[in-house]
Amino acid sequence: MNTLTDMQLDALRELANIGSGNAGTALGSMLGKSVDISVPTAALLPLPDAVAIAGGPDEMRFGVVVPIVGDMDAIVVLLFPEDDARKLCGIYGIDPHTPDGTSMLGEVGNILGTNYINVLAQMAGMRLDPAPPQVVEDMLGSILSSVLIGRGEEIEEALVLDSKLQVEEEQCSLSFLLLPDHGGIKELLGRLGL
Amino acid sequence: METVVRMGEASASNTPGDVLACIGLGSCIGLALVDRSKGVAALAHVMLPEAPKPDPPQPHKFADLAVPALLDLVLAHGGSRLRLEAALVGGAAMFQFGGSGQDIGQRNAHAVARHLETLRIPVRATEVGGSKGRTVRVAVGADLAITVREAGGTEEQLLGGVAAGRAVFV
């Protein structure tokens, strides 16, 4: 796979829009705060550019990784700068560097990932299940490169669906990436009749 | 000048003061080949153990092709074949995804080490495995030095210049 048409990218962006909208609403009701979602971007990027999409490669981030399995393999990645992770955990009086903090961030990943994926599954008529989230604190480049080549496939490009969520009052924002694998993109577009 | 070597790329220099860097390595390997006597270095950012088909556009992506290609590159910049030394950084296992991709970092490290051995290039320093990301920097010149910084940590010297006592890391 080398290219996606504009129409296919538009369709994927729209899916991301609906998915992240749903995910944001779910997070908002968990936190009891309103959550704003930016218009997502959808881009097919060479691997080094995909890794650079969320900031400099040595910037530290909390990363929550939710593998998706089923009719399409994909990975959901949430990225929080440390300050933002601190604010989010702070709503519950938790420090992000503790086991409770890790568990809290994992739960946020679970809720966002599940609600995002459910919309995709419904629209495309697919069965998709999230696996348990994994939480790390590391360099952005290390997190994304490991995720993108984690399955050991030889890939040149990655489809990145990128949304930004902002928790109001807390001024806390996070990046939300959906990274389908190559077979997954085809499957998804096929199901949508594109 | 600092040159950032991105995934699947390689770079070499013999200009004193230049720095070659792989920033934010996870399961990838930063492979440095250096000739300290001449102050020449080459650095590759290796992603996978093996090329699935011959003649890919980016040979430095794959351990099996990256090692010979990087050797050519360091020799072309004036490195002496018999004085070459290698250093490996990265190959972390940050996530458990299961399946065939399990511990791609370890497979990368083994593949690079095996191909270096085939070409009889001694490995003077390694900082691989574990679960943390790393950054490697090679400072080119008479005081050629390789440093590693783990995520959230401080910069540590991995391989020093000629004067800095090479025996320590052998």
B95 closest CB neighbour out of A57, A60, A65: A65
Q: Is A1 within the bounds of a domain?
A: no
All structural domains of chain B with their residue ranges: 2-169
User: Is the model's pLDDT at A1 over the cut of 60?
Assistant: no
State the CATH number of the domain containing residue A77.
3.40.1550.10
Indicate which residues of B carry an active-site annotation. 28
Task: Give the confidence band of A180 by pLDDT, cuts at 50, 70, 90.
Answer: confident
**Among B98, B99, B123, residue whose Cα is nearest residue B112:** B123
Q: For B62, which residue in chain A has the nearest alpha carbon? A: A154
- Predicted confidence at residue B168, as pLDDT, reads 44
CATH code matching the domain that covers B2-169, chosen among 3.40.1190.20, 1.10.520.10, 3.30.1330.200, 3.10.580.10: 3.30.1330.200
Residue A2 pLDDT: 55
State how far the Cα of B160 lies from the Cα of A31, in Å rounded to an integer: 51
What residue in A sits closest to B149 (Cα-Cα)? Answer: A58
Say if A55 falls within a structural domain: yes
* Eight-class DSSP state of B26: S
Compute the nearest-CA separation of B37 from chain A (Å): 31
Residue B139 CA to residue B15 CA, distance in Å, equals 10
CB burial of A63-92 (b: ≥16 within 10 Å; e: otherwise) equals bbbbbbbebbbbbbbbbbbeebbbbbbebe
ipTM of the prediction: 0.89
Q: What is the mean pLDDT of the segment spanning A118-128?
A: 90
CB spacing of A146 vs B92 below 8 angstroms? yes
**B47 Cβ under 8 Å from any chain A Cβ:** yes
Read off the pLDDT of residues B129-151 as tens digits, 9 standing for 90 and up: 999 999 999 999 999 999 999 99
Question: Do A62 and A105 contact (CB within 8 A), yes or no?
Answer: yes
How many other β-carbons are positioned within 10 Å of the β-carbon of residue A158? 24
User: Does the beta-carbon distance from B8 to A47 stay under 8 Å?
Assistant: yes
Of the candidates B26, B104, B152, which has its C-beta nearest A60's C-beta?
B152
Distance from CA of B123 to the nearest CA of A (A): 23
What residue numbers bound the domain in which A20 lies? 6-191
Number of domains in chain A: 1
Helix (H, G, I), strand (E, B) or coil at B1: coil
Question: Rounded distance, CA A42 to CA A139, Å?
Answer: 23
Give residue-wise pLDDT tens across range A138-165: 999 999 999 988 766 777 788 888 888 8
* B26 to A142: CB separation less than 8 angstroms, yes or no: yes
Residue A116 lies in a domain: yes
- List chain B pLDDT tens, one digit each, 170 residues: 999 999 999 999 999 999 999 999 999 999 999 999 999 999 999 999 999 888 888 999 999 999 999 999 999 999 999 999 999 999 999 987 755 446 899 999 999 999 999 999 999 999 999 999 999 999 999 999 999 999 999 999 999 855 444 444 44
d(CA A137, CA A102): 9
Query: Which residue out of A68, A134, A136, A142 would a mutagenesis test of the B interface target, given it has the greatest number of B Cβ atoms within 10 Å?
Result: A142
| pLDDT value, residue A159 | 85
